Amino acid sequence: MRGVNGRMRCGRLLAALLVLLACAGCGAGGSLGSGGGTGGERTAVRSLLDGWAAAVRDRDRHRYLAAVDPRATGYRTEQARVFANLAHVPLSSWDYRLLRTGGFAPLPGDGHRVAVEAELRYRLAGYDTAPVAAAVRLTAVRRDGHWYLAGQDAGQGARQLWDQGPVTVVRGDHSLVLGVGQDDTRLRALAGMADRAVPRVADAWKARDWPGRVVVELPASLERMGQLLGAPAANYRGIAAVTSGEVGNSGAAPADRIVVNPEAYGSLSDFGRQIVLTHETAHVATRERTSAATPLWLSEGFADWAAYRGTGRTAAEVAPELGRSVRSGAVPQQLPADGDFRFTGDSGTLARAYEGGWLACRMIAERWGEAALVAFYRARGSAAAVRSVLGVSEDEFTARWRGYVRAAFRGAF
């Protein structure tokens, strides 16, 4: 819907990028070296992380805090809060994969401090078929022969919802909604929207390779949304929701999260909210069949097509920006380019890109059939797919789309 200035295609937002931790990131005295620490040091830190993870899985608060340096009082208090925040989050797995350690300056006595790079991997019970991965950077210390965790780099990229406060959990028929700083009524309403979105998308996608369930996160503010996505909050102002995840059919693909902007989403009508949740759910459903080669006009256009399918809305209602352009004589000559979908760029260009992609997918569904649209998407919209699925050349397809766009705003449909 046009009250939303843009939506993130599944997987294009979050890419896992691990960089070496400079000493300034964790304190004075050294940095991670290319050697990755001594063998004994790595074994000790790995054992420490394994025990910490087991404490989370077992909901063992005493064991969890026993792994934290007693002298790091601030960090210990923070971790006690995080553990409490996780109380209602349904976890089926939680573990750490150690990536690298590096030495700092010695501590008094036999003390020793190291910087640690690791990857947290967790799954939500009943929803994630593969782990979600998140980079973490920690400080570990050895005192009197015992290893402890003593700090964490708060300036790293994306954070987790439970880092922001106690997580409230609402289970829907097809959805799991996690919220922080939100009342139960709002979370249940969101779950209802997601529950209606899932069967609508399933009917449009017509594929059995999707479990038919979604995880939705609702942070307390736009600023907190930016923290979850590891990007400036200003990037998402006016954007009601985005979907995070990795593209590509890799078998056990990582799970998606629909992250809702409480400010922009809250300003929409019920119809607009449903369109947003259905659009983002379509990204979740199609993610394993989406690759870097899939043009954005197809991935975003299909998500909008699935969202508006069956609503009876006209082109003038769904695509007002493109309609104004066409009526002024500026009919687009080419399908929207990937660069047109930058939501930090010109809002008019962005709106016309979404609208043009939606019309392209609607044209395929009407003229070749919905099954052909799904087959075309699964073939990633390649030049070969234009010929093999649609039976026309790329130039002919583009010419037909231009004619369809012109007709759409001349009262034909």
CA–CA separation, 105 and 297 (whole Å): 53
Q: Tokens standing for 241?
A: 């929701």
pLDDT, residue 29, reads 33
pLDDT digits (tens, 9 = 90+) for 1-47: 333 333 333 333 332 222 222 232 333 333 333 334 577 889 999 99
Tokens 């590096």 sit on residue: 102
- Note whether 313 and 408 are within 8 A (CB): no
Please tell me the pTM assigned to this model: 0.87
What residue spans define the domains of the chain? 1-14+157-292, 23-152, 293-413
- Please determine whether the domains at 1-14+157-292 and 23-152 fall in the same fold group of CATH: no
Q: Looking at domain 1-14+157-292, which of 1.10.3720.10, 3.30.70.260, 3.40.190.80, 3.30.2010.30 is its CATH number? A: 3.30.2010.30
Beta bridge partners of 170: 177
Please report, for residues 137, 202, 209, 258, 374, the alpha-carbon distance to residue 282 in angstroms, rounded to integers and kept in the order given.
34, 8, 13, 11, 12
Question: Strand, coil or helix: what is 110?
Answer: coil
Question: Strand, coil or helix: what is 176?
Answer: strand
CA angle (374 as vertex; 368, 376 as ends), nearest 5 = 70
CA–CA separation, 188 and 170 (whole Å): 6
Count the helices and strands in the chain (H runs, E runs). Answer: 14, 9
Query: What b/e readout covers 51-68, taking b as 16+ CB neighbours within 10 angstroms?
Result: ebbebbeeeeeeebbebb
Please, what is the angle between helix 394-408 and helix 347-367, to 10°?
100
Q: How far apart are the first and last CA of the chain?
A: 18
- Note whether 200 and 189 are within 8 A (CB): no
Please report, for residues 30, 99, 112, 174, 193, the alpha-carbon distance to residue 109 in angstroms, rounded to integers and kept in the order given.
18, 28, 9, 56, 59
pLDDT, residue 37, reads 55
Please name the fold of domain 23-152: Nuclear Transport Factor 2; Chain: A, (3.10.450)
pLDDT, residue 255, reads 74
Long-range contacts of 322-326 (CB under 8 A, 24+ apart): 322/351, 322/352, 322/355, 322/356, 322/359, 322/405, 322/409, 323/408, 323/409, 325/352, 326/405, 326/406, 326/408, 326/409
Burial class (CB in 10 A: 0-12, 13-18, 19+), 119: middle
pLDDT, residue 129, reads 87
pLDDT digits (tens, 9 = 90+) for 149-204: 999 987 666 789 999 999 999 999 999 999 999 999 999 999 999 999 999 999 99
pLDDT, residue 1, reads 35
Averages of pLDDT over runs of 10 residues in the chain (413 residues) are: 35 29 32 52 95 98 98 97 98 96 59 90 94 93 93 79 97 98 97 98 90 96 94 92 70 75 97 98 94 95 98 96 95 96 86 97 98 96 94 97 95 53
